[in-house]
Structure formats: structure tokens, C-alpha cells
A and B are shown apart, each in its own frame.
Chain A
Amino acid sequence: MKRICLVVVGLYLQLLSAFSQTVDTTNYKPRKLTINEINLVHSYYHQEGDHSAVTGGIGTQKLSDYANNIELNLMKYNKYNRKIDLNIDMGIDYYTSASSDNIDPSTISSASSHDLHIYPTVTRTATNEQKGTKNNFQLSFSAESDYFSYGFGGGFAKQSKDRNRELTVNAKLYLDQVRIILPIELRTLTTGGFPGAPNEHDYPYKSRNTFSSSYTLSQVINKRWQLLFLLDLAYQQGYLSLPFHRIYFSDNSETIERLPSERFKIPVGIRSSYFIGDRLVLRSYYRFYHDDWGLDAHTIDNELAIKFTPFFSISPFYRYYTQTAIRYFAGYKMHASTEQYYSSDYDLAAFNSSFFGAGFRWAPPKGVLGHPNWSMVELRYGHYSKTDGFVSNVISVNLKFK
């Protein structure tokens, strides 16, 4: 009798729990890969200047770039309850370049006057939400007419118990191939690209390898302020010049750029985000850079996001940059032919630059223009200028779908 009563009580309790269960969607964990987020980024970039390295430090630097990027984030939970993120990033840029056209100035429009740059990247991240750890693995590829890159990377992240601090360590290896396309007047029967030769369309390649490691430490300071410390260590080895950068010596002879076959870089940065009052967010960034070619640089970037509503903000920004020249730089006809290394690339000269502009961000809760899957639109414009007369403008749009 007692056993029958216990069975009946047990069945009754089970019946109650069945009616009290509700479908919990907040903790829904998909077991198959599902699309979590899609980002489309489109940009138009245009630059003008008079110090092209292709023509020895003088000549037009006119260039236009139409950049397109689609980023797909897929997510699932595996049988060990680890969150698996698969990020597929595909970039396709089409650019026209007046300076590249001068690799062979005898033609009105050479094959170098425009180019397509394709660069996919795939990243897999596994997150243990209980322990606050992440592992990631990345493969990347990049292809242009004169440059190919194969990238491999991996990393680890660990959060503190209170989730107010996170340390990440990442390492990347790039195995790159530079196609040796010489200026037309310096080509011979053995260099490739010589008009009429059997190997006219065959160019040799030289390798360039980059080993880099990145370390970041993020820290919540208080309810309104958080910081990120960044440190990279990078070592490059191989052919670090560009074969179509002309050098005109002071004795009027000509050759191509020659730089050392090794370079060690140390950039250190700090990023800060501070919520002022109820409607302002100050985003700041400072970086110091040093390398063993003699280049030191400082970058300061400040952006103030003004939140007119929780879903709409406008962000004016200003970035100031200054660098010293590498010890191998000199301008047009300023190098002596007896020097061991030489470059007239004004990107490696001493200069200051300013970059300012503004962006807006709109992320309404019911979706942009009432479309529930279109979660955000962001538009940003910037004007860049250097003290050597170089100027550029860039306008970009980001569409986010969830």
C-alpha cells in the first residue's frame, strides 16, 4: 500500500513539473551551424600625391580603390557544450593606380594600371563559457597580380573569474611570394617581362615571411571605463623591397629599391572606452611603434560617440600620426650609388598626418527600415592628409544582418 502511495505521489509531481515547463529561448543553444551574423562592408577610397615610389619619389600617386568585404559568422554548440564560431571573411578590392601604370610608362594603359585583390580568411573559435577560455585557429590567403600570401594563425584567450579581465595571445605566420616585375627599362632577357622574349609573361618570385605574435590584456576599471593594452612582436625576413620602386642616384644612374632582408617591429598600444554621463562615449587610442630600420611612430586617435538615442549615434573623430624616416630613405636623386641600402618610398619618410571625419550608427530594435533581420547600418567618412602633400578621402558603409 505504501509503495502504491509513493508511486502515485511521484506521478503527480511529474505531472505538475510537465505543466510548469515553459520553452526557454534565452538559453537556446543550436547544435547545428546556424548563421549568427552577416556584415557587408563597402568602401570607396581615393588618393592623390606627387611622390610616387614607382617613379623614384616624384610623380603621381593617384589611386582609387573599391573595397568590398562580406563577413559571415556561423555558430553552434558541440556535444561538450563548447560554443563553436566559424568566421568566414571574404574581401574583394578593385583598384586603379596611375603610379603602377608607370611601371611601363610607354603604354597608355598597362596591365599594372588596375588590379583585383582577393583575400579570404577563415577563423574557427572554440569557447568554454564556464571556464572563460577560448582557442582559435585561422587560415588566410591573399592574391594580387604581383603578390601572393598564405597565412596561418592560432591563439588562446582566458578571462578572470569575475569576467572583468581577459588575456589573449595570438601568433601568425605569413608565407608570401613577391612577383619580381621590374620597371620596363631595367628588364633583360633573364628578368622576365622583356618585350618579345620567350619568357615575356614569366616573372620570377621571391619569398617574404612574417612571424608575428600579439598580446592583449583588457581590464574593466569601473562601471563606465575599460582599457585594452596591446603588444605585437613581428619579425620579417626575405625580400622586403618592392621590385618596381625606382631609385635615381645623384650621379643620374638608375636601379630599383634595395632594403635589408630582415626587419623587427614592436608596436605597443592602449585603447580606452569611457562612458561620459548618459549620452557620450569617448573612444581613445595611442600607439608607439619602433623598428630596427630606424622608424619610430606615434599614433593618437580620439572619437566621441554622441548617442542621440540608445539606437542612434554620431561619432566625429580625429587621428594624428607622426613618424621618423627609416635610415635608408632619401628623395629623388638624393642617394649615392655607393650606399648599401636605398629607398625613395615616401611612405617610409619622415612626416606627420591628420585624419578626421565622422560616422553615424543606427541600430533600431525592430530593424532598419522595419526589416527585422537588418539590425544595423553604419556610415563613415574620413579625410586624410600628410605633410608631404599627400591627400586621400574614404567613405565606408557597414550593413549588419542577424
Chain B
Amino acid sequence: MMRRVVRYIAGFCLSGIVMASCEAVKPYQKNRLNDGEMELSTRKVQKTETSFQNYREGASGADGGSNGGGCGCN
């Protein structure tokens, strides 16, 4: 339990350090960030993959998909 708490705190601190080092990027500087491959989501072509993973694995959610409702899945 203690190890898990330490891990969570370490994760938050690391996230805080990363966020604090953020650069202010202007819209005209976002050509790479706006590339189609840079999208922060699963690809539409992955719909069936996400679906079968929800059925065949116990975990679900935090991936843009369903978190257990809407199907007879886990």
C-alpha cells in the first residue's frame, strides 16, 4: 500500500515537472503538432481493436472508449 502511494506521488511530481517545463507555442509554430500522426487519441481504424480488448481483458476505460457500459463486456 505504501509503495503504491509513493508511486502515485512520484508520478504526480514527475507530471508537475513536465508541465512546469512547458513552452508557450504560438499557432504558427504548431505545424508538427497539427500533423495527423500526432493526434492524442486512438485512430478510427482501431475501433475493433479497442472493442475486442474490452471484451477479452478485465480492464477498460481511460482510452477514449467505453468503461464497461453499453455491452456485455468486462
Contact = CB atoms under 8 A, between A and B. Distances in A.
B70 to A, nearest CB: 4
Contact of B38 (A222, A275, A315, A361): A275
Interface string B28-57: 011011011111110111111101110111
Contact of B49 (A230, A313, A394): A394
Nearest to A240: B68
Interface residues of B, number: 49
Contact of A151 (B21, B38, B39, B69): B69
A347 B59 contact: no
Contacts of A232: 61-62, 67
Given A230-B63, A234-B67, A273-B39, A396 B57 contact: no
Interface in A314-333: 315, 321, 323, 326
Contacts of B56: 47, 347, 384, 386, 390, 392
B25 interface: yes
Nearest to A215: B62
A176 interface: yes
B6 interface: no
Contact of A221 (B23, B26, B59): B23
A295 to B, nearest CB: 5
Interface in A277-326: 281, 283, 285, 287, 289, 291, 295, 297, 299, 305, 307, 313, 315, 321, 323, 326
A217 to B, nearest CB: 9
Given A265-B68, A275-B32, 20 more contacts: A41-B45, A65-B48, A162-B25, A162-B26, A174-B66, A210-B68, A212-B69, A220-B33, A223-B32, A230-B64, A236-B69, A265-B61, A267-B59, A267-B62, A269-B62, A287-B59, A347-B58, A398-B43, A398-B44, A398-B45
